[in-house]
Amino acid sequence: MRKLLFFLLVSLFFVIPAYALDLDGLSTEDIQMTRQIISKLQPVIRERDSEESLATLTFKDLDAPLTKQEKKFLKQFRNLSRKETGIKIPWRGLSTGENDLIAIKGQRVKDKVRVRKEGKLETVIVDRTLPPQYLPLTAYQKYFEMMAAMEKDIGKRLYVDSGYRSSAFQLYLFVYYLRNHGFSVKETVRYVTLPGYSEHGDPGHQAIDFINRDGINGDPHVEEFECLPENLWLQEHAQDFGFVLSYPRDCPDGITYEPWHWRYDPKAAREVAKEKAPKVKTNDRLKGGTCKN
Ligand SMILES: [Zn+2]
């Protein structure tokens, strides 16, 4: 009898599926768990940001304030595969911030703030300093070189709204932004990549999210960034500095259009430059008689 009971228990263990996330929409308990975890992690992120050590945040650091159950829950997001989520971007590897990163500090942009003046709500423009951002050396140098050229051409420049991110910070961002996408994992992955898939954590193909002096970064209106003269300049010249747009409109990878997200990738940039080059050389065009003096 005991043997039979043991056999039944063991069979049950294999028959009952392991606890899994509903990727189309988290259950009420899972949403509650997500909120609980974020409320515990938010102070950790703020502290690391103020200590200027966010770039080296590890999974262990995220786990520190969490219960065993919360840690287990959070880990499920690390183990999700792209096949499960329907996204076709390549695995970039986990990032821990141990590379030689250079800090960009004191970037000032404008911000709209709602304040109450004599009982009325008013919008005022204030200056705000972006939190420190980090870039690997070559991407850092090329970014500044590109901005110097942009400033010379159009008298404007773009700032680094988000540079290098460790995979642990990427995981935090993913779980944080679930609430903006109805707690659907499949929808959120189109906006925020899972740890290991982010170009922000790949120093060899470092991504930068840009923001302009007026604080325009495409959030919440993508077109606002798309139509900036700074962005039009990027579309024309970024490939000359080794930068390419990662997620264009109607991106086949399943990621939404991100005109602010450019990656330092000299090889891909050379391809873009080749495509952009006129198919017919100027001299040939002249010979063909399309140019009139
Ligand atoms: Zn980005």
Per-residue pLDDT of the chain (293 residues; tens, 9 = 90+): 666 666 655 555 454 445 689 999 999 999 999 999 999 999 999 999 999 999 999 999 999 999 999 999 999 999 998 888 988 999 999 999 887 899 999 999 999 899 998 889 999 999 999 999 999 999 999 999 999 999 999 999 999 999 999 999 999 999 999 999 999 999 999 999 999 999 999 999 999 999 999 999 999 999 999 999 999 999 999 999 999 999 999 888 899 999 999 999 999 999 999 998 875 444 443 333 333 33
Ligand 1 centroid–CA 162 distance in Å is 7
pLDDT at 270: 97
Alpha-helical segments (H) within the chain = 2-15, 28-50, 59-63, 68-78, 82-85, 137-154, 167-177, 185-188, 222-226, 229-237, 266-276, 282-288
CATH architecture of 20-288: 2-Layer Sandwich (3.30)
Ligand 1 centroid–CA 200 distance in Å is 6
pLDDT at 228: 97
Ligand 1 centroid–CA 220 distance in Å is 14
220 upstream amide cis, omega within 30 of 0: yes
**Residue ranges covered by each domain of the chain:** 20-288
CA distance 207 to 19: 35
What is the pTM (predicted TM-score) of this model? Answer: 0.86
Structure tokens given for 275: 């495509």
Neighbours of 101 (CB within 10 A): 21
Ligand 1 centroid–CA 210 distance in Å is 8
Residues counted in the chain: 293
Ligand 1 centroid–CA 165 distance in Å is 10
Ligand 1 centroid–CA 39 distance in Å is 24
List residues, by chain if needed, whose CB lies under 5 Å from ion ligand 1. Answer: 207, 209, 261
pLDDT at 215: 97
User: Which residues lie below 8 Å from residue 88, measured CB to CB, with a gap of 6+?
Assistant: 82, 252, 253, 254
Ligand 1 centroid–CA 113 distance in Å is 24
Ligand 1 centroid–CA 293 distance in Å is 47
Ligand 1 centroid–CA 258 distance in Å is 8
